[in-house]
Amino acid sequence: MADISDRRARRRAETQAEILDIALDVMAEEGVAGLSLATVARRLGVRPPSLYKYFPSRHAVYDALFKLGQEGYLAAVRAPGEPGLRGMGASLEAGARWIMDNQVLAQLLFWRPVPGFTPSPESYAPALAIHEHFATLIRDAVRRGELHPDAAREEGLALAASLIAGPVSQQLANEPGATYEEGRFTRLVPRLPAVFAAVYPPP
């Protein structure tokens, strides 16, 4: 985007990234809604008002993190690149792993923990791409005869989204410390494609 030769713009972008990095640390320690710009400023070695040169408000920091999160999660679920039901399983697992590795961002994305914060349309955009990604995988699985055509309808997509949201939600709320491997609930993720296929068996 910005001209690389512009030293000032580059430095500015670096500082912005550093602020977001520290903000993530603070949120991990204090809770997602516990982000304090004063704390961030202290760790950055700067007075609180100076942060407003980089972000117009606390919500703007959340919004930037929300966008980062959406992009990271989208990249994670797209990474496997496999098609069909197998691909769906691989995507779900990759997504669940990303969530356990980025719990703070995940809470910001999938719950609404910050009073008054709603993501801007621009930051929300990748969410649509994520939805489309899974819809494509499911349509593909239907085409291969791995799932009933109803799986690709509105209700099937809602069920697929709920199936993955379940274990992830439980894991984050009840055993947040665990890794993907250890988690009592994330352990269920590899079984989800079979569960989904049991609900929508091929005709």
- In the complex, which residues of this chain contact DNA (CB under 7 A)? 6-8, 11-12, 15, 35-39, 46-50, 52-54, 56-59
User: Phi/psi zone of residue 35: left (φ > 0), alpha (ψ -120 to 50 degrees), beta?
Assistant: beta
Least distance (Å) from DNA to the CB of residue 10?
9
Is the Cβ–Cβ distance between 70 and 121 less than 8 Å? no
Mask: binding to a second copy, 139-158, rule CB under 8 A, as x and -? ---------------xx--x
Q: Please name the residues in contact with 97: beta carbons below 8 A apart, sequence gap of 6 or more.
A: 76, 180
Is the Cβ–Cβ distance between 175 and 185 less than 8 Å? yes
Least distance (Å) from a second copy to the CB of residue 53?
26
| Residue 58's binding partner out of DNA, a second copy, none, with CB under 5 to 8 Å set by partner kind | DNA
120 touching a second copy, by CB under 8 A: no
The interface with a second copy within residues 17-36 (CB under 8 A) comprises 30-34
| Residue 57's binding partner out of a second copy, DNA, none, with CB under 5 to 8 Å set by partner kind | DNA
Nearer to DNA, 36 or 169 (CB): 36
- Work out which of 14, 75, 173, 182 binds a second copy, going by CB under 8 A: 173
Residue 87: CB atoms within 10 Å? 20
Report d(CA 88, CA 165) in Å as an integer: 14
* Backbone φ, ψ for residue 167 (5° rounding): -60, -40
